[in-house]
C-alpha cells in the first residue's frame, strides 16, 4: 500500500470549498424535494382514501409504479425524456432554470411521494375505527372528528417513518450526480478525478452523510421516547 | 414515437452481448440481485445475531456496523469499493465485483435489522422453554428461535430483495453493463428515443419488482396465520 494521505487537501482551500458547496446543494435539493413530496404524497394518499374509484385507481397505479422502479431510471427518464411527457410550456420554463437541478427535484419528489403517500395512508388506517365512531357519537361532525381526533393521532404515529423517508431522500439525492447536479457525492467524485485523492474526499463526504443521518435518527428516537407513549388504544 | 429503436436493441437490453461477449442487461441485473441477496442474507444473519447477543463486545461492533452502513448512500459505498480496492488490495477489482460487494454490505445492514426485529418479536417464553428443556443458548437459537423467526421474516426479505433489484441500477455509475447502463449506451448511440428507452427499462424493472411485491404481500397474509408473536 503506497498511498500518501493528504488530509489538508480536502480540509482546506479550494477543495474544502467544493465540499461545502456540495453539502449546500445536497441540503437545498433535499429540502425542496421534501416540501414538494409531502404535498404530492398527501394528495395521492387522499386520492387513495377517497370514494371516487378512478382517483383511487390512479393513486394505486402511481404508488405501485414509482415504488417498484429504480430511482436512477426515473432520474434519467425525467432528464432525457421530459420533452415527451411534460407540456411544452413547462419544459421551456424548466430549460431556462437550472435544468439538471429541476429534473433531480422532479424525480426525487415523484419517487418519494409514492412512499410518503403509503405512510400517510397507513397512519390513518392504524387508528382504530372505534375512535371515529365514538367521536361521532359524542356529537362531532365527520370533519371535526378527523381534525380533532383522528389526524392528530395519525400524524403523531407517522412522523418517525416520515422523517426516515426524508432521510432516505437526502441519501438518494446523491444519485442526482449522474445528471450533473453538483451535490456532495458529485463533488467528492470530482475531487477524486482532479487529485486522485479519493480516499480523503470520500471519507469526508461519508462522514458528512453519516452525521446528518445520525442526528436525524437520534431525533426520531427521542421523539419516539417522549411522544409516542402518549397514544393509547 | 420511435419504438423501433427499442425493439431493434431489445436483445441487448435483455442480455447484453451475451453469447459473443459478457453477460449484460437485465440478465446481469438479475444475477447481481440474486447473488447480492444471497450474500447479504448470511452476512446480515450473522450481524443481526451479534446485534442481539448478550455480550456488549459483540453487540456494539454490530450496532456501529449497522448504523454506519445505513447512514451512508449506497452510491458512496460503491465508490468506496471501486476507488479504494486498488489502495487496499494493491490491484483493481473488476467493476462487477466492487458493485456486488457494495450491494452485499449495504443490504446486510438492513437484513440484520430484520433479523433482530424477527427474533425480538417471538415470545420470550419460547427461549425460556427451550432453555428449560436443557438446550444450550446456541441450540435453542438454532432449533427453536431461528426457524420460527426466519419464517416470519420472509416477507421482509422479499421486500429487501425488491430494493436490491432496484439498487442494482446504481452499478451503472462505475460502468457495470447492467440494464440501466445498457439503456444509456443505446440512448447515447441512437439519440432519438430517450423517453421510449427509459420507459421500457422502467417497465422491465417494474414487472420484476411488482411481481415480487405482490408475492410478498400474499405470503404475509398466509404466514400471519401461523405466527407466534410476543408481547
pLDDT at B35 over 70: yes
The 10s digit of each residue's pLDDT in A22-80 is 999 999 999 999 999 999 998 998 888 877 899 999 999 999 999 999 999 999 999 99
Mean pLDDT to the nearest integer, A219-226: 86
Distance from A72 to chain B by nearest Cα, in Å?
A: 7
The 10s digit of each residue's pLDDT in A138-196 is 999 888 888 888 888 888 889 889 999 999 999 999 999 999 999 999 999 999 999 88
Q: Which residue has the higher pLDDT, B19 or B149?
A: B149
pLDDT of the residue at B116: 94
Q: Which of A3, A70, A79 to mutate to test the interface with B (most CBs of B within 10 A)?
A: A70
Instruction: Say yes or no for a CB contact (<8 Å) between B162 and A70.
Output: no
CATH architecture observed for domain A7-228: Orthogonal Bundle (1.10)
Distance from B193 to chain A by nearest Cα, in Å?
A: 8
3-state secondary structure of B178: strand
Instruction: Say yes or no for a CB contact (<8 Å) between B71 and A175.
Output: no
Q: Which residue has the higher pLDDT, B160 or A6?
A: B160
Round to whole Å and give the CA distance between B38 and A75.
Answer: 28
Q: Which residues contact A23 (CB under 8 A, 6 or more apart)?
A: A184, A208
Nearest residue on chain B to A189, alpha-carbon basis? B79
Give residue B148's domain range: 3-230
Round to whole Å and give the CA distance between A140 and A134.
Answer: 9
Round to whole Å and give the CA distance between B53 and B150.
Answer: 17
Round to whole Å and give the CA distance between A17 and A29.
Answer: 18
Round to whole Å and give the CA distance between A100 and A94.
Answer: 9
Chain A residues with CB-CB distance to B71 below 8 A: 209-210, 212-214, 217
CATH number at residue B96: 1.10.3720.10
Query: What would the grid cell of residue A8 be?
Result: 489538508
Cβ of A167: how many Cβ atoms within 10 Å? 20
pTM of the model: 0.91
The 10s digit of each residue's pLDDT in B162-176 is 999 999 999 999 999
Instruction: Say yes or no for a CB contact (<8 Å) between B195 and A174.
Output: no
Q: Among positive and negative, which fits the CA dihedral B166, A103, A22, B84?
A: positive
Of B178, B167, B189, B208, the closest CA to residue B22 belongs to B178
Any B CB within 8 A of A152 CB: no
Whether A199 and B87 have beta carbons less than 8 Å apart is answered as yes
The 10s digit of each residue's pLDDT in A101-121 is 999 999 999 999 999 999 999
Distance from A146 to chain B by nearest Cα, in Å?
A: 29
Q: Kindly list the domain boundaries of chain A, sorted by start residue.
A: 7-228
Amino acid at each position: 500500500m503506497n498511498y500518501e494521505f493528504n488530509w489538508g487537501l480536502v480540509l482546506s482551500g479550494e477543495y474544502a470549498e467544493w465540499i461545502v458547496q456540495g453539502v449546500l446543494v445536497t441540503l437545498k435539493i433535499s429540502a425542496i424535494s421534501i416540501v414538494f413530496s409531502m404535498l404530492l404524497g398527501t394528495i395521492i394518499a387522499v386520492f387513495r382514501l377517497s370514494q371516487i374509484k378512478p382517483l383511487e385507481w390512479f393513486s394505486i397505479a402511481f404508488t405501485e409504479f414509482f415504488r417498484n422502479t429504480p430511482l436512477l431510471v426515473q432520474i434519467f427518464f425525467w432528464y432525457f425524456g421530459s420533452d415527451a411527457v411534460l407540456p411544452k410550456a413547462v419544459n421551456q420554463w424548466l430549460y431556462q432554470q437550472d435544468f439538471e437541478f429541476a429534473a433531480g427535484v422532479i424525480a426525487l419528489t415523484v419517487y418519494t411521494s409514492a412512499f410518503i403517500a403509503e405512510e400517510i395512508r397507513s397512519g390513518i388506517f392504524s387508528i382504530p375505527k372505534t375512535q371515529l365512531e365514538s367521536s361521532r357519537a359524542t356529537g362531532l361532525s365527520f370533519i371535526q372528528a378527523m381534525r380533532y381526533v383522528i389526524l392528530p393521532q395519525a400524524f403523531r404515529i407517522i412522523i418517525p417513518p416520515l422523517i426516515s423517508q426524508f432521510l432516505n431522500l437526502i441519501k438518494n439525492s446523491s444519485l442526482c450526480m449522474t445528471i450533473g447536479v453538483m451535490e456532495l457525492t458529485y463533488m467528492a467524485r470530482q475531487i477524486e478525478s482532479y487529485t486522485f485523492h479519493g480516499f480523503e474526499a470520500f471519507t469526508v463526504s461519508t462522514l458528512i452523510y453519516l452525521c446528518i443521518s445520525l442526528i436525524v435518527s437520534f431525533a426520531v428516537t427521542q421523539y419516539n421516547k417522549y411522544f409516542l407513549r402518549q397514544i393509547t388504544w | 414515437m420511435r419504438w423501433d429503436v427499442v425493439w431493434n436493441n431489445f436483445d441487448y437490453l435483455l442480455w447484453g452481448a451475451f453469447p459473443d461477449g459478457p453477460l449484460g442487461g437485465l440478465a446481469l441485473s438479475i444475477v447481481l440481485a440474486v447473488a447480492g441477496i444471497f450474500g447479504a442474507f448470511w452476512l446480515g444473519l450473522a450481524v443481526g445475531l451479534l446485534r442481539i447477543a448478550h455480550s456488549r463486545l459483540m453487540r456494539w461492533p454490530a450496532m456501529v456496523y449497522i448504523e454506519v452502513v445505513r447512514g451512508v448512500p449506497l452510491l458512496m459505498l460503491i465508490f468506496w469499493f471501486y476507488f479504494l480496492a486498488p489502495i487496499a488490495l494493491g490491484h483493481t477489482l473488476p467493476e462487477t465485483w466492487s458493485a456486488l460487494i457494495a450491494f452485499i454490505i449495504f443490504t446486510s445492514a438492513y437484513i440484520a435489522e430484520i433479523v433482530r426485529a424477527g427474533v425480538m418479536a417471538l415470545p420470550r417464553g419460547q427461549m425460556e422453554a427451550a432453555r428449560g428443556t436443557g438446550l444450550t443458548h446456541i441450540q435453542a437459537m438454532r432449533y427453536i428461535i431461528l426457524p420460527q423467526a426466519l419464517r416470519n421474516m420472509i416477507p421482509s426479505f422479499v421486500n429487501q430483495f425488491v430494493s436490491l433489484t432496484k439498487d442494482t441500477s446504481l452499478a451503472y455509475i462505475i460502468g457495470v453493463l447492467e440494464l440501466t447502463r445498457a439503456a444509456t449506451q443505446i440512448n447515447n448511440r441512437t439519440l432519438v428515443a430517450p423517453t421510449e428507452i427509459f420507459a421500457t427499462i422502467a417497465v422491465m424493472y417494474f414487472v420484476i419488482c411488482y411481481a415480487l411485491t405482490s408475492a410478498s404481500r400474499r405470503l404475509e397474509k398466509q404466514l400471519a396465520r401461523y405466527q407466534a408473536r410476543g408481547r
